[in-house]
Amino acid sequence: MNILAVGCHPDDLEIACGGTLAKYIEQGHLVVMCNIANGDKGHAVILPDELKSIRAREAQEAASVLGASELINLDVPDLEVDSRNKEIISKMTNVIRKVNPDIIITHYPKDYMTDHCETSKIVFEASFSASVPHFYTENSSINHIPPIYYMDTLAGIGFLPQEYVSIENYIEKKLKALECHKSQLKWMLEHDGINFADFVATCSKFRGLQCGKAFAEGFIRCDAWPRIPTKRLLP
């Protein structure tokens, strides 16, 4: 299968579905990761232009750890992710057409910040637009509307999974990929007193407790016609 995982900022995918992506890849599926925002405002000391470059390098390192076939960055500044922006919709549509995914994983529509919620809307709209022949982008239209699965919210707040993926054999790779994002982990520890790798591991352990595994990641299916699959698409 072709899997497209769309996160808002660099590190969002590693946090919420890194273990699932690693599992897909080990099973032989093609995984493309896409970040819509460039993460340029994710620090109070490092200035945006410098941070943008740092986070791009960190994201590439993390994608390599997971084994993704490609990492795509739409390079939208933080706090400017807008589902009404037709240029962003067009870029996302082009990515979906390029990957021709059997499944898309992205943010839940009710996550903790606007950029994440807008990313969810962008993916929903662009995945439909990708099937419309006369919506023109560099890549040609695809012949289906891909199913969407929403990944967990930060700390799992307001999110009750419908499906779980056991990642007990992939938690170390998930955390290794997350730890590539040094600028974020260091800043959160110094500024907020949060050991973020431990935070993410704890959330994965909690989802594991819910489904009887050591570690897991949770997902909710986008139940909109004609996106409802008749078979399990998660690994």
- Ordered by start, the domain boundaries in the chain are 2-221
Tokens of 76: 């939208």
- pLDDT tens, 87-112? 999 999 999 999 999 999 999 999 99
Q: How far apart are the first and last CA of the chain?
A: 11
Percent of the chain with pLDDT over 90: 96
**What does the pLDDT average to over 161-189?**
96
In the prediction, which pLDDT does 81 show? 98
- pLDDT tens, 115-130? 999 999 999 999 999 9
In the prediction, which pLDDT does 44 show? 85
Exposure class string for 89-106: b at 16+ Cβ within 10 A, else e: bbbbbbbbbbbbbbbbbb
- Reported confidence tier of residue 192, pLDDT bands at 50, 70, 90: confident
- pLDDT tens, 5-15? 999 999 999 99
Contact of 132 with 89, CB cutoff 8 Å = no
CATH domain 2-221 topology = Rossmann fold (3.40.50)
Q: How many CA atoms lie within 13 A of 233 on its CB side?
A: 23
